[in-house]
Amino acid sequence: MTLGRVIRSFAAPANTGVNLAWDGRALWLTDIGTDRIYQIDPMTGRAIRSFAWAAGNGYGLTWDGRTLWISDYTTDRIYQVEPWGGQILRSFASPSGNGYSLASDGRYLWFTDNNTDLLSQIDPVTGRVVRSFATPAGFGAGLAWDGRTLWQSDIGSKLIYQVDPVTGRTLRSFAWATAGGYGLAWDGRTLWLNDLGAKRIYQIEVE
């Protein structure tokens, strides 16, 4: 396998999609233009369903095995959301403003803050920051958990980094051709990346 090789791609269901999540069978996409959250068939690219996001600008998105979590850039809060209708179950203040991306490792949330350039581990029960370390570069936009490590896309450096969650050390990286690589999701075997500029979602080989 070749690190960073595009396996396939399809058009995003809306033109201003940012972050991605994977629920075990389908992708989810936040779109800041339509203010909707889309569930997407990964085989066809077709939108299965969507719901309105009224809180503000939903950027970060992740799946914890049961529910969605959304970090909102306008309200500076992190929301736990029921995925089938979009009901907000609860929320807490994000560590600071300018939060672009979220990931879940099954126990903790991970949050990228582009004001402080920190990647933070958050207790989803209390909202407390457990620990933080510096992001690999200055503009982390997408975040995913692969079961052992984190992956972060950076739209400033145009690189996608694999990061050790204990030390914060960059394990490896590969280039992305544009500065539109926002959302990342892990499906158990490959990465998915949403490119805001290209308005396409890409399946990418990393192992």
pLDDT class of 119 with cuts at 50, 70, 90: very high
In terms of pLDDT, which residue wins out, 57 or 106?
106
Tell if the pTM clears 0.85, that is, is over it: yes
Q: How far is CA 54 from the centre of its chain?
A: 19
Residues 140-155 have pLDDT tens digits of 889 999 999 999 999 9
pLDDT class of 184 with cuts at 50, 70, 90: very high
Give which of 81, 144, 76 is closest to 109, Cα–Cα: 144
Rounded-to-integer distance, Cα 158 and Cα 120, Å: 21
- Residue-range domain boundaries for the chain: 6-204
DSSP code of residue 168: -
Residues 51-105 have pLDDT tens digits of 999 887 888 999 999 999 999 988 999 999 999 989 999 999 998 777 789 999 9
Query: What is the pLDDT at residue 179?
Result: 78
Query: What is the pLDDT at residue 4?
Result: 93
Give which of 194, 150, 152, 144 is closest to 174, Cα–Cα: 152
Query: What is the pLDDT at residue 1?
Result: 63
192, 20 in Cβ contact below 8 A? yes
- Asked if the model's pLDDT at residue 195 lies above 90, the reply is yes
Mean pLDDT (the chain) is 94
CATH number for 6-204 (one of 3.30.70.1150, 3.20.20.70, 3.60.21.10, 2.130.10.10): it is 2.130.10.10
